[in-house]
Structure 1
Amino acid sequence: MNAQFKRGIIELCVLSELVQDDMYGYMIINNISQHLDVNENTIYPILRRLTKEGYFTTYLQESNVGAPRKYYKITDKGFRYYAELRDSWDHFIGGVYEILNKGGKKHEEILARFEKRTEETKL
């Protein structure tokens, strides 16, 4: 995936995970990495920054294996920030899809339109 696409949306993905439930870092990384190529070097700095900015609080919870885990919990401020980012994203992606879908929604449809257009210019 294009790094510039990914960089702008990872923060919203982290917020979205924590809207669902409190989670510890590895759980967030695991959930997001099922859909996007991310790792701890991407996620933990976001978690630290958003916690510092007051969007999350943290607490320790005992684990059956190993040391207690640090859980992240979204705050009211964090939820408002999430809702704002989500509205912006929905508006942005809606516009992008409008533009992209002008050429067709499927690869074959886009290719057929392009071939037709290039044939018309050759005549």
Structure 2
Amino acid sequence: MADSIQIQLRKGVLDLCVLAVLSRGESYGYEIASTLVSAVGMGEGTIYPLMRRMQTDGLVATRIVESSSGPPRKYYRLTELGQTVFETHRSDWRAFTVAVDTLLEDLS
């Protein structure tokens, strides 16, 4: 059961986590995935479909950069809409976590 809640929590905040990473500056897919694996244990395979959806939704823009050490890299950055959505989601997350923390403290 504990694994199940961890999986659901991760799925629920994946968009917010990606937006948070990109709020710090543009990044390429593997770098985003590595950051999320280290920070919250997200699987790398879930990032790329999400990035395509965010691009389709107008939250991120991309550019391709040639690399001397391998294939070209696709860099992602927040659009103005993406920044607005990030700020809204961050505010909602903070309010939600405060409410949950309050409930958990009241139960002790």
TM-score normalised by structure 2 residue count? 0.90
Task: Give the partner amino acid of 2:57.
Answer: E
- Could you list the structure 1 runs, at least 4 aligned residues long, displaced by more than 4 angstroms after superposition: none
Higher relative contact order (CA 8 A, sep 6+): 2
Instruction: Give me the CA root mean square deviation.
Output: 1.2
Aligned length: 104
Deviations 1:44-98 (A, max 9, x none): 1111000001011100112231111000010000000111111111110110011
Task: Give the partner amino acid of 2:51.
Answer: L
Q: How does 1:1-123 map to 2 (within 5 A)?
A: 2-104=6-108
Quote how far apart the aligned CAs of 1:28 are: 0.3
**In 1, distance between residues paired with 2:103 and 2:23?**
30
List alignment gaps of at least 5 residues for structure 1: 105-123
TM-score normalised by structure 1 residue count? 0.79
**In 1, distance between residues paired with 2:57 and 2:100?**
30
Q: Larger Rg: 1 or 2?
A: 1
Quote how far apart the aligned CAs of 1:39 are: 2.0
1:116 alignment partner in structure 2: none
Match of 1:70, SS? strand
List alignment gaps of at least 5 residues for structure 2: none
**In 1, distance between residues paired with 2:97 and 2:42?**
21
